[in-house]
Structure 1
Amino acid sequence: MRIALALVGLIVSITANADIKNYEAEGNLESSRPVNCISTKELTTKNSPADIYIGVNKCVNEDDFDKAVQLYFISLAYGKYDTLRVSDRSAHQAVTVLRMNHLGALNEEQTANFQAAFKKAAENMNVVCNSIKTLGKPTYYPKYMIQHGMGAFTGQKTKDGLVVGFDPDQAWSDVLEGYVKCSK
């Protein structure tokens, strides 16, 4: 037992004094078309979750929680679609990291207001579903996610980082029906 405790102490001592380096691949979580606090009608299929979360954050800072939540739902749907088409599973956490980066520092009042707007929107998913369906499936290349995974350092398993034989229409249908829970 004493040896184990001494070993743990040694490891803590060594790591506490170690220089820790954070490596990021170029394009990791990168926004190429950032949006402001806009309505979902102003989005295009070229806006990735990295772009949309910037708008979500701006809406929160402008106290426009209804718009923030509508943008949030679209970023979740687009992010889920990207997890279906990006081959590197280690990259799939990109949307979670974006959410933490853009919404992780909300104060208590902002959190309560965001949650209230989320609950209100979730009670009327027809509005959310109509917005997502009207916008349509993403047409951007998901570089923000591909460059977030280990494949950005070790090499992608596929030429472009995307799933071979990916069916965009089926994946979009799966997102709408299985993830967002929109009816046909």
Structure 2
Amino acid sequence: MKNLLIITLLMFGMNQINAQNVISIEADGNLESPNPLVCVDLSAVTNGNNPADILNGMKKCIEIKQYEKAAKLFAIAGVYGKYDTFRVKDKSAHQALLVLQMNIFENISDSEKNSLMEYLEKELKAGSSKLNETCQAIQKVGVPKYYPKYMIQHGIQAFVEKDGNGLIEKFDSLASWKLALKEYLHCGE
């Protein structure tokens, strides 16, 4: 009888847990990809593509097993995301790149993850000629020219502060670009 009572209470509790609704509130433009890419060479990326656009292309590359292209797209998306953390005022928004990356990785198989990791290690190894080539190709694409709405709208300030554009005033674009290349990819080391 005691076991029956415990099982009944557990079943009732499980039904209550299952009956609860999860509500997700997002600001318009959160993690937005206005110009999603397909699987392209790094040279086809423009400085108008934000990290969400680029990571969409990376996902397409993974789907067709073009891991070398995927690794290079991962690299430029990371540099652009790092650059955006320097220019977006709201620190709570800075995890936007990580969330975008997690969204990609949660939908790929372990085999695909392992293959991609092999290429990332090979293409982005510190001090390697492959990394140097990737750094030069990213520098040719150039400093981001898009407005980082995907990141700004990801932070808490998108809900509480409606004034301003979300960017740091008197931002040093060139110095931040060099720092993003160095900190994210170790370019020039």
Structures share fold, TM-score greater than 0.5: yes
AA paired with 2:82? K
Alignment of 1:66-145 (within 5 A): 66-123=68-125, 124-145=130-151
Q: Distance in 2 between matches of 1:180 and 1:126?
A: 10
Give the secondary-structure state (helix, strand or coil) at the position aligned to 2:38: coil
**Bigger radius of gyration, 1 or 2?**
2
Q: In the alignment, which residue of structure 2 is the partner of 1:166? A: 171
Q: RMSD between aligned alpha carbons?
A: 1.8
Shift of 1:180: 1.9
Shift of 1:20: 3.0
What is the number of residues matched between the two proteins?
A: 171
Q: Distance in 2 between matches of 1:25 and 1:48?
A: 18
AA paired with 1:175? A
AA paired with 1:159? G
- TM-score, normalised to structure 2, is 0.85
**Over 4 Å off, 4+ runs:** none
Alignment of 1:17-96 (within 5 A): 18-96=20-98
Shift of 1:172: 0.4
Shift of 1:18: 4.4
Q: Deviations over 1:64-115 (max 9, x none)?
A: 0000000000000000000000000110110011001112222121011101
AA paired with 2:41? S
Q: Distance in 1 between matches of 2:121 and 2:178?
A: 24
- TM-score, normalised to structure 1, is 0.87
Structure 1, unmatched stretches of 5+, are: 1-11
Contact 2:78/2:184, CA 8 A, preserved across alignment: no
